[in-house]
Amino acid sequence: MALMSDYRPPVDDLAFVLKHIANYDDIAALPGLEHADFDTVHGLLEEAGAFISEVVAPLNVASDKEGSQRQPDGSVKTPTGFKDAYRKYVDAGWGSLPFTETYGGGNFPWAVGLAIQEMLTSASMGFALCPLLTQGAIDAILAYGSEEQKQTYLPKMISGEWTGTMNLTEPHAGTDVGALTTKAVKRDDGTYSISGQKIFISYGEHDLAEQIVHLVLARTPDAPAGTKGISCFIVPKYHVNDDGSPGEKNGVKALSLEHKLGIHGSPTCVLEYDDATGYLIGEENMGMRIMFIMMNNARLSVGLQGVALAERAYQASVDYAVERIQGRAIGAQKDSPIIDFPDVRRMLMTQKATIAAMRRLMYLNAGHMDVSHFHPDEKVRERASEIVGLLTPICKGWGTDMGFELTSTALQVFGGMGYIEETGVAQHLRDVRITAIYEGTNGAQAADLVGRKLGVRNGSSVLEFLEQVGAVDAELEAAGDEFASIRSNFSAQFDALGKATKWMFLNGPGDPNAVLAGSSPYQRMWGLVLGGWLMARSALAARGTDRAEQEFVLAKFYAEQILPQASGLLGAVTAGADDLFALDAKQLGAAV
């Protein structure tokens, strides 16, 4: 019995989602994207999937066991095979596709880059984290770097020859970024001396590339307190020579690597900056603005990690369910594969339908990102940007919460075998757990949703979006009796989300603790309902195609057996904060 499955890139589903949910044909018609037509993109995804499954996926299990290793000289050796695979990835140009051609990119839509990123993450999350972190640094330099900084760093970062990091967290300053103490002192030549310590820096030191470009948040001596006094600096691992090549070592080193629950292939570093030379991005005290540029795309990418790991675990669990013979199903004449048992089918369908809903939400968001960047009409760009702002915390929070839950369900399909490392599914559970924590905990995402995004244009932004979501009811009614169950279930849960949103609007101004107390279940309600909306849209779009039965069955299962969870959360959303604070720390069991 084969316990570990090969990775099968879901190219057909990705293509369907791009075309029918992200409205890819409209995106490809935008100025500057005409070369990226759907047929071209479909072919690229097939090629990328083949490359990733053949070159990257085989490294996943061994890299988890070997891990990245810090060497006596402070350098870091990545797992066997990573260096060669990364060079092939760079040479093939997969990482450069979604970036501007001005600095050597392929100028493809971000939705296409995200699809490649999903497959890369499913293949090996530890490997995929390197280009993901580089992406955030590229975005920041593109948005706020000087032309000299862009010319110096972007061509090699976009190609992947150089990699990047985001240095935010310090031992005492995690989500509270404003508490950081790393110092930046301006020198006579205009550079800055950077001194301090950063923790949890993914790929802060490694052997995959000749240069690492650190983006570091630090505080100048006379800066205002808190988040208003943060600045952002480029701190390269090596000084850059006049000809663009790496020169002498800068004052940054890896003190240690974290010993983690999962993603062992990815080196998570404690970095020390000791009078390192840094170059200011933008102006002093603009660091938080630049940080959000780095983090917003990364938050969608982390939500996608939930999808990617759930997909990989699902593939393993359905293969196991076909192969595992145990017991005798109702009516069977001989021992049966466990896929013939109703509860195993329930677990498999729950995984497949929820992964489909999550994937559709991620690419809906990515499609709006592309519109916000490329559409010639400023008002259309602004509206798309508003929708991205609303969807991003939902994508990150719901995507990673469900990623962990679905990966756990996949392990359950394996039974006792799932708890044994040799089957491989336990690694996916360990790897995916971090996703709900980093790039802003899911509680922080929920607080952002209710504290910032609901209030955009005094609530008009979210109400307009809800009106757009609710419009699917007319389409479902027109589709006839076959869609009646999908329609009735969606309508009931959409109404529940409307009630929750109204409660948030009414209580937010006077009792912020109350809305924060309900923010996480509220965020999940959004994910569940938007998932139901997109599954219904998929079933409608697939009529008359060879995907019609699959899309309809998944949409109906989701509507009847997953979506009803949304209204069950309404009580938690609207309960307020009194009970949360009724017991003191001692009554809660703390050792005080």
Report the catalytic residues. 439
Provide φ and ψ at 136, rounded to 5°.
Answer: -65, -40
d(CA 151, CA 139): 14
d(CA 303, CA 396): 4
DSSP secondary structure string for all residues of 273-310:
EEEEEEEE-SSTT-HHHHHHHHHHHHHHHHHHHHHHHH
Contact 124, 63 (CB under 8 A): yes
Residue 76 pairs in a beta bridge with: 70
d(CA 297, CA 69): 29
Within its chain, how far is the Cα of 44 from the centroid? 22
d(CA 502, CA 213): 45
Contact 91, 138 (CB under 8 A): no
Residue listed under structure tokens 């020169």 = 247
Residue listed under structure tokens 């969870």 = 565
The alpha carbon torsion through 87, 92, 97, 101 (nearest 10 deg) reads 90
Pair of tokens at residue 388: 């991205």
Among the listed residues 480, 447, 468, the one whose alpha carbon sits nearest the alpha carbon of residue 534: 468
Contact 434, 263 (CB under 8 A): yes
d(CA 186, CA 523): 43
Contact 501, 454 (CB under 8 A): yes
Contact 216, 251 (CB under 8 A): no
Contact 125, 263 (CB under 8 A): yes
Among the listed residues 228, 230, 164, 163, the one whose alpha carbon sits nearest the alpha carbon of residue 196: 230
DSSP secondary structure string for all residues of 364-397:
HHHHHHHHHHH-S-HHHHHHHHHHHHHHHHHHHH
d(CA 399, CA 364): 13
The per-type count for the chain, helices as H runs and strands as E runs, is 21, 11
- Residue 498: how many other CB atoms lie within 10 Å: 15
CA atoms within 13 A on the CB side of 279: 20
**What secondary structure letter does DSSP report for 577?**
S
Contact 469, 543 (CB under 8 A): no
Provide CB contacts within 8 A for 432, sequence distance 6+. Answer: 125, 262, 305, 306, 309, 310, 313, 400, 403, 404, 407
3-state secondary structure of 196: strand
Contact 316, 308 (CB under 8 A): no
